[in-house]
Structure 1
Amino acid sequence: MKISVVVDMAADGFADRVLVGRRSTGLTAARLRAVSRAGARRIRAAGADALLYLGVNGPAFPVALFAAAQAGVPLVPVNYRLGGEQLRSLLARHPQALGLGGPVEAALLREAGITALTFEEWLETPAEADEDIDEHADPEAVAAIIYTSGTTSAPKGVLVRHRNLLAYVFGTVEFASAGEDEAALISVPPYHIAAVANAITNLYSGRRTIVLEQFTPSDWLDHVRIEGVTHALVVPTMLARIVGAASGPGGDLPSLRSLAYGGAPMPASVIEAALRRWPHVGFVNAYGLTETSSTIAVLGPADHRAALASEDPAIRARLSSAGRAVPGVELAVRGEDGKDLPPGETGRIWVRGGQVAAEYTGSGSATDAGGWFDTRDQGRLDEDGYLFIGGRADDTIIRGAENIAPAEIEDVLLGHPDVEDAIVVGVPDEEWGQRIEGAVVLRAGATPDSETLRAHVRSRLRGSKTPDRIALWTSIPRTETGKLVRRDALRLLLEATGSEGGRRDG
């Protein structure tokens, strides 16, 4: 079975319902199936072994996803923000692919020797003949190759199979559960696993999907109001800006019922402000990875409200958690010896389940003999199974003999009322191995200096976790999905001191 079965189910179940794009001009379920099948014929006619997607999200994306599935080749969504050398290197891995992109991107694909169509040409593909061309539904076929963001290393291609995506969809969504008035606004780029997963889950539920190609808080608010958006997906940095913009006229959003966020840690002050601004909205924190075919843990609306209302510190703390495992997924936290740790102790997060892909191009599966995958994220579970993320294991700062999680220090900095964003990294040091340095973005009109912020950290954490230096920046390096890019922050901090290491007093 392939993900194209979802299109068939939608077309058979609610053929005339508009499911992609604006209500007035979007694609119905029947039209989406027809255009996807026509696209599959075009892929096969080109003799392509993959379908490259280079450009912003939009109606062409779900058509590409399901056309590739129908044709029996993987979709490869490519980061259109890559530099020239990186982009050429990645495209060189797929010389026999058919490419899709905007006019500029299509030209870049052709320069790389790849046959390419513009999005407009792709959507104009004739769709008269509507027969199913999927003669061989290989359950092990690859549905998508998604390249990781490469925040700590070069991007790796993750092989996400049809069975992984279907395990996620069938385990978390009820078919045709959405009303005809429901619409989802997606604000993540097409090369992120959330874009792939949401294209399938919203279609399966019968919910219309609208994409915001270029995010600004005002555009997001306008789309919600004008299109009657009921469900939305954002990353934490977006939500912070939306909450700020929604304080004025037009921020009530009566149609909005559910707002999901994920991709990076959410500052408690931001989600608390959002909960108070929109008490009628159900907030959902979703934690997942490319290797897990999207979400593996969820903090649902009831959990959010219970945490906000509670005076119990343990319950209140769950507002900063990733929630509990979704159906069909097992979570474990293990120590360095590979053994499960008891609740409350921090270790590496491991995951197992049918939706876990954990397979890379050129290197095979990354699961152990029992089917468990090491996420390389640190975290802990509480007594009731709520998962708290502690950051990447690769990010750990080793100061002397002490292992320090930068996320713990960042949480304290973000708790300061004048701090809007923060990042902490380990900087090479001759005496300690690494010293702790950080940078913050202050809220408009705020005036605290570095020493004031260091004192704030010292008052809440022991002295060894206090940054040696805190720089004041206008922005923090992040990916489009909100993940901190620590290597860029480290480079900027080193450039500011004019060295690559050495002892620093003070």
Structure 2
Amino acid sequence: MSISLLLEMAESGDPDRVAVVDGDRRFTTSELSGLADGGAGVIAASGAQHVVYVGAGGVMQPLLIFAAARAAKPYTPINYRLSAEAIRELVDRLPDPFVIVDDRYRDMVASDDRLQTSEQFLAAARTAEPVVEFADPDDVAIVLFTSGTTSKPKAVELSHGNLTSYITGTVEYGAADPDDAALICVPPYHIAGVNAAMSNLYAGRKMVYLTNFDPGEWVRLVASEKVTTATVVPTMLDRIVRALEREPTALPSLRNLAYGGSKVGLPLVRKALELLPEVGFVNAYGLTETSSTIAVLTPEDHRTAHGNEDATIARRLGSVGQTVPGIEVEVRDDTGAVLGPGQPGELFVRGEQVSGKYTGVGSVLDEHGWFPTKDIAMLDEEGYLFITGRSDDTIIRGGENIAPAELEDVLVEHPHVHEVAVVGVPDPQWGQAIVAVVVPAEGVEPDADELREYVRTLLRGSRTPDRVVFRDELPTNATGKLLRRDIIASLHDARAEK
């Protein structure tokens, strides 16, 4: 099945329904489908083998996803926040590309005959000879570059089969109410941004795009467009909560708010639950290589866990929930043995939506189809999945393996701590020393020794941070992922300056 069929089904179900709201522009499913057919004609006429987009999204995201699919060419949205050099390097890694770029980023992309601005492409799509070609399910539909938080970005290849398996397995066709609307503010180059366009169309839900996130504008759009569901990354959730604390605003239409992309501190989750008691919160966990979500902590899970007197159930508020249909998971130790409940190890994932394939590398699935996520995880007795960090982030102090999340989960509960990241830095005596980098809560000046003692009383002495340093903010990328290597580099630079 080609992903282009998702738009075809949406159009056949309700051609006059408003599918996309992008600023002052509105497009019905029929109009979007017609533009995708014309856009496919523009792509086919270019002779290119790959479609690339450098821009903030909006209507260009679903249009290019489906225009590329109907031209049977892979599509790659690229992080427009990168430097011009980095953008050009990624474009050069793709074969024979046709580049569409938002006008404001035109100077970031090298000049080439196969280049159009977004407005030029839109205009051409309105008049081009339509093309509709159905790709094979095994053909590559989307190529996304990983965020490169720990290494050079890899190009992940997702097939039509991977993506349609995820959509049809987790979304009910046409199930949305006629007035349902989704607010989309995740970036187009993230897997959540790609799947937002496909899943909402398939469900029959209006998509409202906010291409430049601002918490005040987010709140305004929820109210004005009667948004019923939205997806945010943790940094966005934090800013929304702060905005609502400063100026309480009723959001009666909002039924579900999903968050994901990286770990969210439990104090923030609790505060959001209390500020928006009528909203169903969803924690979604997934990877680019798995075509998005593989586990979900449902609204019911959130409310059941929040404040529960049973410690086992209450702890699940910090989990990513249970696996979605069609997904299998295993937690393994260093020898490859499968571990039981309560035992941490590396998470392996299997299912039709799982790609595990990289351009220039090929598939990294094992002989039985399992994908190594490199995430350290644990399952409880009821199958709730807990993600404790990346294997690359493990601190080895005096020969003892220490997961940063173990300390972070404790420190973030201290009333003087707003955010915290724990990293390991080189140490001549212990191999690595533990450094806690803390963003203080508003209006307080935490004491480093007090925070160290707080950890010592709740964890083993070997888990006590060797140092606590304070920062105004933690470095993250646009999808909220913590940039630990930037923290380590800044600590190294600070030491070198002394």
TM (norm. structure 1) is 0.96
Q: What is the Cα deviation at residue 118 of structure 1?
A: 1.2
Please tell me the residue identity of whatever aligns with 2:121: W
Please tell me the residue identity of whatever aligns with 2:194: V
Residue in structure 2 matched with residue 92 of structure 1 by the alignment:
92
1:369 and 2:377 aligned: no
Taking the aligned partners of 1:153 and 1:51, their CA distance within structure 2 comes to: 25
Q: What is the Cα deviation at residue 209 of structure 1?
A: 0.8
Please tell me the residue identity of whatever aligns with 2:73: V
Please tell me the residue identity of whatever aligns with 2:47: G
Preserved contact between residue 34 and residue 128 of structure 1 (Cα < 8 Å): no
- The within-5 A match list for 1:90-239 is 90-94=90-94, 96-111=96-111, 113=112, 115-127=114-126, 133-134=132-133, 136-239=134-237
1:296 and 2:294 aligned: yes
Taking the aligned partners of 2:473 and 2:109, their CA distance within structure 1 comes to: 32
Q: What is the Cα deviation at residue 250 of structure 1?
A: 5.0
> What residue ranges of structure 1 are gaps of 5+ in the alignment?
501-506
SS in 1 for 2:383: coil
SS in 1 for 2:377: strand
What is the RMSD computed on CA atoms of the aligned residues?
1.6
1:4 and 2:4 aligned: yes
Taking the aligned partners of 1:248 and 1:90, their CA distance within structure 2 comes to: 41
Please tell me the residue identity of whatever aligns with 1:60: M
Taking the aligned partners of 2:259 and 2:190, their CA distance within structure 1 comes to: 14
Please tell me the residue identity of whatever aligns with 1:9: M
Preserved contact between residue 39 and residue 130 of structure 2 (Cα < 8 Å): no
- Count the aligned residue pairs: 498
Moved over 6 A (4+): none
Preserved contact between residue 41 and residue 129 of structure 2 (Cα < 8 Å): no
1:333 and 2:331 aligned: yes
Residue in structure 2 matched with residue 25 of structure 1 by the alignment:
25
Q: What is the Cα deviation at residue 95 of structure 1?
A: 5.7
Preserved contact between residue 182 and residue 228 of structure 2 (Cα < 8 Å): yes
Q: What is the Cα deviation at residue 16 of structure 1?
A: 0.2
SS in 2 for 1:247: helix
Taking the aligned partners of 2:113 and 2:487, their CA distance within structure 1 comes to: 35
Residue in structure 1 matched with residue 264 of structure 2 by the alignment:
266
Taking the aligned partners of 2:436 and 2:117, their CA distance within structure 1 comes to: 43
Preserved contact between residue 22 and residue 209 of structure 2 (Cα < 8 Å): no
Q: Provide closer, same or farther for how the CA distance between residues 499 and 362 of structure 1 changes in structure 2, counting only shifts above 3 A.
A: farther
Residue in structure 1 matched with residue 463 of structure 2 by the alignment:
465
Please tell me the residue identity of whatever aligns with 2:287: L
Q: Provide closer, same or farther for how the CA distance between residues 471 and 248 of structure 1 changes in structure 2, counting only shifts above 3 A.
A: closer
Identity of aligned residues (%): 49
SS in 2 for 1:265: coil
Q: What is the Cα deviation at residue 86 of structure 1?
A: 1.8
Q: What is the Cα deviation at residue 477 of structure 1?
A: 0.8
Preserved contact between residue 95 and residue 114 of structure 1 (Cα < 8 Å): no
Taking the aligned partners of 2:128 and 2:117, their CA distance within structure 1 comes to: 22
Taking the aligned partners of 2:465 and 2:493, their CA distance within structure 1 comes to: 18
Q: What is the Cα deviation at residue 107 of structure 1?
A: 3.9
- The within-5 A match list for 1:30-49 is 30-49=30-49
Preserved contact between residue 367 and residue 374 of structure 1 (Cα < 8 Å): yes
Taking the aligned partners of 1:240 and 1:145, their CA distance within structure 2 comes to: 30
SS in 1 for 2:151: coil
Q: What is the Cα deviation at residue 21 of structure 1?
A: 1.0
SS in 1 for 2:25: coil
Preserved contact between residue 50 and residue 97 of structure 1 (Cα < 8 Å): yes
Preserved contact between residue 109 and residue 115 of structure 1 (Cα < 8 Å): no
> What residue ranges of structure 2 are gaps of 5+ in the alignment?
none
Q: What is the Cα deviation at residue 132 of structure 1?
A: 5.3
Residue in structure 1 matched with residue 347 of structure 2 by the alignment:
349
TM (norm. structure 2) is 0.97
Taking the aligned partners of 2:396 and 2:158, their CA distance within structure 1 comes to: 34
SS in 1 for 2:212: coil
